[in-house]
Structures are given as C-alpha cells and as structure tokens.
Amino acid sequence: MTLFTPMLRDSPLSEIFSDENTLQRMLDFEAALARATALCGVTPESSMTIISAQCQADKLDIPAIAQAAAGAGNLAIPLVKQLTANVKQQDEQAARYVHWGATSQDVIDTGLILQLREAIDASEALLEQLISALIEQIQRHQHSVMPGRTWMQHALPITFGLKLAGTLDALLRWRERLQEMKPRVLVLQFGGAAGTLASLNEQGVAVAQALANSLSLNQPDTPWHSQRDRLLEVASWFAGVSTTLGKFANDFSLLMQTEVAEVGEPVAPGRGGSSTMPHKRNPVSCAAILTATTRIPGLMATLYASQNQQHERALGGWQAEWETLPQLITLAGGVMQTTRELFSGMQVNTDKMRANLDITHGLIMAESITLALAKSLGKQAAHHLVEQLCHRALDENQPLAALLEQHPQVIPHLSSTQIAYLLDPQHALGSNDKFIHQVLARAAQQNREPT
C-alpha cells in the first residue's frame, strides 16, 4: 500500500521499518553474537570476522526469505539459513558457529529493539521540532483573543496562545515520558531455546553481557520472550503523542470551517483543492492526521490483546506484533511530521477571532456582568437577571450592552463605562497569561536539562 505512504506515513520512521532495514537489524544481532561468543571463548575468533562480513542485507535474497518464512513460521529461520550458506561459501568451519546459542525470537526481538532505538531517536528529533515550532506560535499569539468553546458553543474569551499552550503542555509531558522510557525498553533479548541459555552452559550470562555491550543495549534481568510490556509501553508512547496531535488537528479543522475561519493550513499550489469546486480549501493536513489517529486505537487494541502469551514462547500473540507495531509507529511518524508542518506554516486570522467574539452581541461576557451585579444583588438574583437579558438580546437581535444600560435594576449599580469595561473580552482573560508563562518556563527548563 505504498500509494498512501506520502499521505499518511511520510516521515523518517517509515524507512526504519522497511524490509531491508528489518533484516539488517537482525543481521546486526547475528554479527554482534559472533563477536560476543568469540570474545567469551565460546567460538573461534577466526569465525567472528567471516560471519560479520556476511551480515549485510544486500547479500540476502529477500523475496526468498519472505516466501520461506511462510513455512518456517518466522523470518529468522530462513535468514539464518541464507546467512549460514553465505558464510559457508567463505569458510566451512565458520559456518558452524552462525547463530550460536540463540533462538529465532532472540534475533527477531533484538532486531526490533534496534529498529525501535532508531525510531525513538527520529521521533525525539521530530518532537523537538514540534515543540520549537509551537513555542514560536505561542509567543506570537499569546495575546490573540478568541472565543473559548465548550460543548461546541462559545464559553468565555481565551487567547489562541493559551490554546496552543495546552498542546505544548502535553508534548512536554510526552518528552519527559520518552526519557523515562528509553532505559526500560532499549534492552537485549537473548535467552536461547527456553530462556535459560542452556546451550552456552556457564558462559551464558557472560555472552549475554558481551552481546548487550556490542549492541549498546541494556541487559535485562531475564529474557522477556513472553513478557511484552516493554513493547506495549513503546506503542503507548507513540499512540499517546498521536492522540495529543490528533486533538489539535480536530480543533484546528473546526476553526477552519467557513463560518468560523479563524485559522488556515499552510498555503501551497494544489493543496487542499477540490476536483469539482474551485473555491474549496480543504484541511488536508488535519485529514491525514485524523485518518492516522482513527486507526491507531485499533492497532493498540491488537497489542494489548497480544500480551496474553503462552508459557515461555507465544503462539499467535508474539506474531501479531510483527506488522502491528511498525504500522502504528509509522502512522505516528506521519502524524508528527504532518503536524510539524502545520505548526510551522499555520495561518491565523486574528481579526476574525476578534469578530467572532462579537457575533453574540456581548453574550460571551455575560458572566462578568453577573459577577459584578452579584456584589449588590446576590449571585442567584444577578444570574437570573442577566440570563433574562441574554434571552432578550438573542430574541430581539440587540447588543447586551444596550439592554443593560436601560434596565432599572442595573443602572443603580453599573455605569455605561463600567458595562463597556466588563463586556470587553480583553478584561476577562483571568490567569490566561500566567498559564502560558508557566508552560513556556517549563519548556525552557527542559531545554536546559541534560538528556
């Protein structure tokens, strides 16, 4: 389905999970295993160089491996078979030591962990770009007043900067979680046939440590063939970041509606057009993001279901991860890449934001009037009075200010100047600026902290 890759998975993460790179990372395990067993004196040192030299994906017949995997049950068995044959052509004795002490799942899982390390590094770079672009937009729009909306209706005034700061706040937490997660998930898988490394006798732990060192991975306390919580944690991180960005895309697309028109996606030739309607400017970036985030929960459900793995090696659950996790991560990569472009090039119509505050003739500021009158009339009486005047303003299509200035219960307590002040959205932003400052300060602090 490569036709959809530019639309949904156009990020550096897609290449990380290509067929070639998947097999190459498995070969990286085999080369490191040859080095580790030779270093520990389990296999001849001479075999290490010969085996390592053949651990290159371009020396494999990839279609043949794929075809053979259908009968073998996994990719590792035909990969090791081809690797052994290639080594044997160079040195028959060295071929005896290919894959020494390992099992198929060790190769596949550790290869996957090496891919995940690449994916995490690439995602970390994308996340930094997202955060930087968002900070710039927040600083630009921290005073851009707009309607806040609850239940899809006008609520109270906010600033667009605060709306963006909510997304930044979440992304900063995802950045923290990523740093916490890496030591737990970037670990070696090496347990042999049943997770005991019995074929290596007393050298098992030493070989495992040498193998982990060679691959720059942490050494777990036990092999984790059927304990898949690490992969679930990785998947949850990618899914979580995607849903945060999906929430932003959903809000952004709503603000792009013709009747609202407060924001717009970046402009480029041919972008967002319609095959029949020349005037259309569709939110194509938001559509791509929401398409991916609609699929991700189902992929997460598969990974949760696959946690139920039998005994020391799974039947079905492990295998269900092979396509599901890469699909989820590459979709998440596309979400991050597309959102980065959206953050950087978004168009913001501050005049329309301000105009939309006035479409209810001042009703969005009714709470300010209520609180001011409550000091004299009491909260319940003030609320009832202002509610009645709001209904009149709507029914008679009049500004709320005019009705307030004429009402006998209001005149003794609020002057026209006070009413105008209370109905000005700029004076009803509460702690808006404080919240933005706090988020920006935390972003600056994280940027100074060593990772």
Model's pTM, two decimal places?
Answer: 0.92
**Which residues, at least 6 apart from 138, have a Cβ–Cβ distance to it below 8 Å?**
161, 164, 165, 168, 436, 439, 440
Separation between Cα atoms, residue 235 and residue 432, nearest integer Å = 34
pLDDT tens digits, residue range 358-388?
Answer: 888 888 889 999 999 999 999 999 999 999 9
On the question of pLDDT at 6 being above 60, the answer is yes
Query: What share of residues in the chain are helix, strand, coil (percent, to 5)?
Result: 70, 5, 25
Here the tokens at position 51 are 């085996």
Q: What angle do CA 108, 109, 111 make, to 5 degrees?
A: 65
Q: Which residues pair with 440 in a beta bridge?
A: none
Is residue 340 part of the annotated active site? The answer reads no
* CA nearest neighbour of 364 among 274, 291, 429: 429
pLDDT at 287: 95
Q: At what angle do helices 45-53 and 76-90 cross, to 10 degrees?
A: 110
- 280 falls in which pLDDT band (50, 70, 90)? low
Select the more confidently predicted residue: 280 or 374. Answer: 374
Per-residue model confidence (pLDDT) at position 152: 94
In the block, which residue shows the tokens 């500021």?
365
* Residue 99: band (very low, low, confident or very high) from pLDDT cuts 50, 70, 90: very high
325-364 pLDDT, tens per residue? Answer: 999 999 999 999 999 999 999 999 999 999 999 888 888 8
Question: Which is the catalytic residue, given 274, 376, 415, 416?
Answer: 274
pLDDT at 274: 47
Please tell me whether residue 424 adopts helix, strand or coil conformation: coil
Please give the pLDDT value at position 2: 82
The per-residue DSSP string of 163-196 comes to HHHHHHHHHHHHHHHHHHHHHHHSB----TTTTS
Catalytic residue among 313, 354, 392, 442: 313
Residue 40 CA to residue 204 CA, distance in Å, equals: 10
Average pLDDT, stretch 228-245? 97
Segment 223-239 mean pLDDT = 96
Enter the tokens of residue 301: 């459900």
The overall average pLDDT reported for the chain is 93
Ranges of beta strands (E only) in 135-286 are: 145-150, 153-159, 263-264
pLDDT for the residue numbered 279: 57
Tens digits of residue pLDDT in 144-167: 999 999 999 999 999 999 999 999
Task: Provide mean pLDDT across the span 408-412.
Answer: 91
Q: 270 pLDDT band (50/70/90 cuts)?
A: low
Asked if 55 contacts 111 with a C-beta cutoff of 8 angstroms, the reply is no
Nearest to 15 by CA among 120, 118, 130, 127: 118
What DSSP state is assigned to residue 228?
A: -
**How many CB atoms neighbour CB 316 within 10 A?**
11
Q: Say if residues 187 and 218 touch (Cβ distance below 8 Å).
A: yes
Query: Given this model, what pLDDT does residue 451 score?
Result: 59
Residue 94 near residue 53 (C-beta atoms within 8 A): no
216 is known as an active-site residue: no
